[in-house]
Structure 1
Amino acid sequence: MSLVASSSSKRRRRLSVHHGVSPGAGTAALSSPWASMNQDLIRLIAWQVLAGDLLDYVRFRAVCRHWRSTTDSPRGCGIVDPRFHPRHWMMFPEGHGLHPSHTKLHGYIRFLNLDTGRFVRATLPVFNDHCVLDSVDGLLVMHRDEDTTIRILHPFTGDVVDLPRLATLAPHIDLGLPGAFLPAQRCYYLRGVCASVSVSAAGVVAVLLALHRMGRVAFATSRDQQWHMSTWTFSYNTPLSFQGKLYMAGMSFDPKENSEIFQLDPPPQDHHHVDVVGSAGSSSLTLPPPKLVATIPTDNLARPIHLVECDSRILVTGYTDRSWSHMIIHRLADLFTLENPIPVTSIGDKALFLNNVRSMSVSSNGALPTVVGNTIVQASLANGSLTEYNLSTDAWSRPMDGCILRGPVFGPCCLIYHIYTCCIREYW
């Protein structure tokens, strides 16, 4: 089955979300003063709504025909127009053995809004012949089984952008890696990715793939026929996608060495050349190595450190010393602009979920009662159970029951464990 069978079927796809508009409300709205609102005012309000959440914008457009015709539809441009990226939404692993294409799910996938705690279901039969590698700004980075094509999918509009086949990177795999000489094992090295997505003014989609199992980075655009692999290798931890770039914390096993943060930008869009159709293609593109943006003395921030986006800023978390008894947070912008940066003492209603593969921030509110604000959640180094570090009290909570390292933990009070699985791509 293809990702989108036809344009007509894509139009029929609808979210299983209650919009709060009763049947016939659109007709009634036509006779109300709201239906004759000034078009410029409608657009101004619509962009303010869109800045909060894409699905609120969809509901806004559904009020009446006038509002819908006055505002831009996200369908058809959900990927190439970054305004319509569902940034706050994360695919939610079901667990209990219910993988995305499981028959009991009937083609539905749940998504969690990390800011509001709301859940929605989307019909995505695509998982019958695709798997998801990563999620960037709410977009799904998919791998098609039959030909290894990488596809960017907008889960709420059905928009798709195709990228080259992942198999074009196979010749670049170092055969000295464990098991790399076996064709089946090579998929292991290519599927462990952290992706970033950027869009040019001309609507060209560019993607960086941090292949953390190889220590290398691949790059391609929607106009390319093959991926371009970095000629350099890099030891890094906790890659973070932020505004189309990749940020990485350099990995070192020497506790006395300073920690370093690197930034990797996508190459300029004018690198593109026309590959010969039907050939492997060749390119002179050289992906520049990551540039150093911050050096952190060990007496300011002890490893292990994590990078996490919170309120449109990059936060760097670590420990005050090697005893790992007290945690500390810095803004990345402060680390490379200030000589003596002041630590962040409060993150408000946010809770930071830290993992070596992905870290994220989640808002605490009534919809997610087990998430506590101003805390840091991570797996215990001792037994793999989740623990919370409270920034207000500078103290750790008791470890929660269950080891997250052995798989998802389920039970009547395990929502926080279930949310934590969003950090671990293998659970998807």
Structure 2
Amino acid sequence: MATMSSNLRRRPSTSAGRPLTDNPNPNRNPNWRDWEGISQSMAAQIAGHALANDVADYLQFRAACAPWREHTEDPKKHSVLDQRFHPHRWILLPEERSAVDGPRWRRMLNLSHGTKITLDLPHLLGGHAVAAGPGGSPGGILVLMDEHSLVVRLLNPLTGQGIDLPSVAPVLSRRSEGRLGLAKAFSGLRNVTGAGFAGNSTVVLHFGYDNKLVSTKLGDDHWEIVSNDSLMCSAFPFYGKVYVANGDGLMVVDAEAAPPKLELAAQWPPMEITLVHMADSSGELMVLTNKACFKKGSDDYMVEFHIFRLDADAGTLVEVKDLGDRALFVGDYCGGLLVSAKEGIIPNSIYFQHDRLNKFYVRRVSDDQTRRLTEAHRGSFIDDLTSYVAWNGRNMTKSQLLLADLGDNNKAC
């Protein structure tokens, strides 16, 4: 079970129901209040405010004393897909940045205020691979895969809620060669490049190196293939829907269809697009398109960014000219992180990775000025963000990565 380190200490249980001012020793502390004995309705109200702010606050409130736990809902009695208990603004840092006191202890970072916590995650031991980066943790839920059986497990790292899903082995290819004729082990094809939840019961996974978008419903014993096509963007979860991008436009998974299928959410504007990223912009779906190419015979990396928001009612993409005091971090996969500019982060900017040289650059949205990102202090907020979006879970040699990044999506200028 995931446990969260905290300074809170549980007090010995006493009888509940006393008035808050009923001090058993009034001469010791005139400001004493019997918080442990607050009414059930008051405890529930405080817990509701804590949960609305952050599930971590809710868990700390419940950990304070036994009566408060009795008066509030236990997340483990609810589905792992219950979004009320999802750690939406928490990310699991890559192992090399977060492993402490052994492999089962990992760090998580809060995107809103930069707080880090240490978790005991024994589920990551015993041959379980964790889906990497922003695309692999919808709503903060970890997607784990047994490396032998390929059984998928969903895990809420804060609450400990979890569930096992069917093995994906029957829907994955067994080919040994992929793009550009590179030899690809089966372990490469099974990397989860995107994941999301559609509604209250459907799980969607994207295996980008195998061109497979699959889905299953809780309780089903198999996965359905939604798409075999090459996508410009992996699965991205957004308020109960899952979006992807292909040549036709921005697509959404219709989980109620039998079998599930892709429906057009919005057509692309008339422009050339090679890469797409998505992010949550305070309740609006932000879409970043990129025309990326290399100059022949050099390492010059040309990018042309356009930012949009989805108008779901009109089925259109509306261009966005300014990010305000925020910055967008994007890496190899679809998911991006939109955060407040602080601790040296430049506002109204896009932080992106030069795939071929494994370097980060920052581009100001206002004037398209781009510069190389200087190496940040290890463990700083900006260092954690760039490490996270660059985390892609690939296990390929450097030469293979250089060749692979010259494939279908990254064209020559």
Q: If the TM-score is normalised by the length of the shorter chain, which range does it land in?
A: 0.7 to 0.9
Q: 1:394 aligns with which of 359, 367, 377?
A: 367
Deviation for aligned residue 1:119: 0.8
Deviation for aligned residue 1:22: 5.4
Does the 8 Å contact 2:165/2:218 carry over to 1? yes
Aligned partners of 1:158, 1:65: CA distance in 2, in Å? 19
Q: 2:29 maps to which residue? A: none
Q: 2:232 maps to which residue? A: 237
Does the 8 Å contact 1:197/1:207 carry over to 2? yes
Q: Would you say how many aligned residue pairs link Structure 1 and Structure 2? A: 366
Letter in 2 for 1:426: G
Q: 2:139 maps to which residue? A: 137
**Matching of residues 3-18 of structure 1 within 5 Å:** 10=1, 14-18=3-7
Q: 2:107 maps to which residue? A: 110
Aligned partners of 2:378, 2:37: CA distance in 1, in Å? 50
Does the 8 Å contact 1:363/1:373 carry over to 2? no
Does the 8 Å contact 2:360/2:373 carry over to 1? yes
Q: 1:16 to 1:36 in 2, by over 3 A?
A: closer
1:425 and 2:392 correspond: yes
Q: 1:371 aligns with which of 345, 354, 357?
A: 345
Aligned residue for 2:117, secondary structure, equals strand
Q: 2:309 aligns with which of 331, 350, 353?
A: 331
**Matching of residues 315-326 of structure 1 within 5 Å:** 315-318=286-289
Q: 1:125 maps to which residue? A: 122
- What TM-score, normalized to structure 2? 0.75
Does the 8 Å contact 1:330/1:342 carry over to 2? yes
Does the 8 Å contact 2:287/2:309 carry over to 1? yes
Q: Determine what percentage of the aligned residue pairs are the same residue.
A: 23
Q: 1:88 maps to which residue? A: 89
Q: 2:270 maps to which residue? A: 298
1:260 and 2:258 correspond: no
Aligned partners of 1:123, 1:413: CA distance in 2, in Å? 20
Does the 8 Å contact 1:81/1:199 carry over to 2? no
Q: 1:352 maps to which residue? A: 328
CA RMSD of superposed structures (Å): 3.8
Deviation for aligned residue 1:15: 1.2
Aligned residue for 2:137, secondary structure, equals strand
Q: 1:149 maps to which residue? A: 151
Does the 8 Å contact 2:327/2:340 carry over to 1? yes
Aligned partners of 1:222, 1:398: CA distance in 2, in Å? 46
Letter in 1 for 2:345: V
Q: 2:171 maps to which residue? A: 169
Aligned partners of 2:62, 2:176: CA distance in 1, in Å? 55
Deviation for aligned residue 1:207: 1.1
Deviations 1:179-236 (A, max 9, x none): 9xx9982332222431112463xxxx42111222222211222312222224x42221
Does the 8 Å contact 1:326/1:394 carry over to 2? no
Q: 1:68 to 1:194 in 2, by over 3 A?
A: same
Aligned partners of 1:37, 1:168: CA distance in 2, in Å? 54
**5+ residue gaps, structure 2:** 24-32, 294-300, 396-413
**5+ residue gaps, structure 1:** 1-9, 252-258, 269-284, 403-409
Aligned partners of 1:23, 1:397: CA distance in 2, in Å? 52
Does the 8 Å contact 1:238/1:356 carry over to 2? no
Deviation for aligned residue 1:138: 0.9
- What TM-score, normalized to structure 1? 0.73
Aligned residue for 1:40, secondary structure, equals helix
Deviation for aligned residue 1:315: 0.5
